[in-house]
């Protein structure tokens, strides 16, 4: 029997297209034709993704739109409307750092989030577009002497993905410094949520359960002044260089840490003797066992098979079921 991961039952930031093509609650008017939206047809997505697998050619009717940022998410709204009215399945991604597309592609529209602005409201308060690089934000804030996002240095995702998943490391989490988040709903209204309304938990935010979430548009962060922020971030980066395969093609952690066992997924995989295990071009990193890398010529199927193999070995040895942190995106046939 296929695992829930293979069946695509996991949520995917920012939309969840893995169960069925997304449907909006009511018919909407067509987007204005001017200015036109730029589309690239039948183009491979692999160059856009942090994992950069070798056979993701993505046969798509409208494969992706790549837009520059708009503060209010207007172009993402127009793209979503266009897809809905033309019955084209679609998803929105940032860097694709937490997703695994099928080798046969995604037969629909992949909208690349490029809402990339950064605005300093006042010292320590930053309003940031959801497509802004999370690593870049962490570096910027630390360089300016503010603490709370030092851990973001080296994380390959975007602000939207970090909020959605409550990214964290080194004892810090996104939730610690988020002040508010603006989302675009499936009725194309902007809605603001304060931090206490997002019910943050381990690799969780309420965004994952919002039925009316179309896209995270922006987030506001509130940080404290610290003369040691930059030094601390450099220490985190050095530690990451030694403990994670940051120079390899990967998408970060594959599995969530088990919630009640007091042991990390990486430790379980390592103690099962699986470091260096390889399926095709996909390999369990020898540096960090919860990172699966493209060791050369890896396909999505190689990664899927390796994930299933590792889960099975850990289950048999420790009677623990690992849960994926990355999401598998099915082809989504028309």
pLDDT in tens, 180-212: 999 988 888 889 999 999 999 998 999 999 988
Looking up residue 67, the CATH number of its domain turns out to be 3.30.43.10
Strand partners, 329: 101
Has residue 24 been placed in a domain?
Answer: no
Q: Which residues are CB-contacts of 5 (< 8 A; sequence separation ≥ 6)?
A: 304, 307, 308, 324, 328
Same domain assignment for residues 139 and 76: no
Q: Give the domain-ending residue among 198, 230, 262.
A: 230
Q: Are 80 and 157 part of one and the same domain? A: no
- Read off the pLDDT band of 12 (50, 70, 90): very low
Question: What is the per-residue burial (b if ≥16 Cβ within 10 Å, else e) of 199-209?
Answer: ebeebbbebbe
pLDDT in tens, 22-39: 333 333 334 433 455 555
Q: Give 269-297 pLDDT, tens digit per residue.
A: 999 999 999 999 999 999 999 999 999 88
Asked if 188 and 221 sit in the same domain, the reply is: yes
Q: Choose one of 58, 84, 112: the last residue of a domain.
A: 112
Answer yes or no: is pLDDT of 42 > 70. no
In terms of domains, do 265 and 217 share one?
Answer: no
Domain that holds residue 152: 118-230
In this structure, the answer to whether residues 275 and 305 fall within a common structural domain is yes
The CA distance from 77 to 106, in Å, is 20
Tokens of 231: 């030094």
Residue 271 CA to chain centroid, in angstroms?
28
Q: Tell me, what CATH number does 180's domain have?
A: 3.30.465.10
On whether both 134 and 193 belong to a single domain, the answer is: yes
Both 57 and 99 in one domain: the answer is yes
332 domain residue, yes or no: no
Q: How many domains are contained in the chain?
A: 3
Cα separation, 168 vs 166, whole angstroms: 6
Looking at residue 53, its pLDDT comes to: 52
The residue among 268, 214, 237, 234 whose CA lies nearest residue 92 is 214
Would 139 be classed as within a structural domain? Answer: yes
194 and 123 in one domain? Answer: yes
Give the CATH number, domain containing residue 308: 3.90.78.10
- Supply the DSSP string of 10-40, one letter for each residue: S--SS---SSS----SS--PPPPSSSPPP-B
Domain end marker among 85, 112, 139:
112
- 306 in any annotated domain: yes
Is the bond preceding residue 282 a cis peptide, omega within 30 degrees? no
Maximum Cα–Cα distance across the chain: 59
Instruction: Tell me, yes or no, whether 96 and 140 share the same domain.
Output: no
């Amino acid at each position: 029997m296929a695992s829930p991961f293979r069946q695509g039952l996991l949520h995917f930031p920012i939309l969840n297209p893995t169960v069925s093509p997304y449907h909006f609650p009511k018919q909407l008017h067509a987007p204005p034709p001017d200015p036109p939206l730029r589309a690239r047809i039948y183009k491979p997505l692999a160059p856009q993704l942090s994992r950069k697998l070798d056979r993701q050619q993505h046969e798509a009717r409208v494969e992706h739109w790549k837009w520059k940022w708009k503060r209010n998410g207007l172009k993402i709204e127009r793209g979503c409307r266009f897809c809905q009215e033309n019955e084209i399945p679609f998803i929105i991604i940032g860097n694709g750092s937490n997703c695994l597309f099928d080798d046969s592609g995604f037969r629909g529209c992949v909208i690349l989030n490029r809402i990339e602005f950064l605005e300093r409201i006042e010292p320590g308060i930053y309003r940031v577009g959801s497509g802004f690089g999370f690593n870049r934000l962490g570096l910027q804030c630390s360089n300016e002497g503010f603490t709370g996002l030092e851990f973001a240095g080296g994380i390959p995702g975007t602000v939207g993905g970090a909020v959605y998943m409550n990214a964290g490391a080194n004892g810090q989490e996104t939730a610690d410094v988020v002040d508010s988040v603006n989302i675009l709903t499936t009725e194309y209204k902007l809605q603001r949520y304060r931090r206490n309304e997002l019910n943050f938990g381990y690799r969780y935010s309420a965004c994952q359960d919002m039925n009316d979430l179309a896209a995270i548009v922006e987030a506001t962060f509130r940080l404290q002044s610290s003369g040691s922020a930059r030094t601390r971030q450099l220490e985190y980066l050095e530690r990451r260089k030694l403990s994670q395969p940051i120079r390899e093609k990967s998408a970060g952690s594959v599995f969530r840490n088990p919630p009640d066992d007091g042991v990390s997924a990486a430790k379980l995989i390592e103690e099962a003797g699986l470091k260096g295990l390889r399926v095709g071009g996909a390999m369990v990193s020898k540096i960090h066992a919860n990172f699966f890398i493209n060791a050369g010529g890896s396909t999505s199927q190689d990664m899927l098979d390796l994930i299933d193999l590792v889960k099975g070995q850990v289950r048999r040895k420790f009677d623990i079921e690992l849960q994926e942190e990355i999401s598998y995106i099915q082809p989504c046939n028309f």
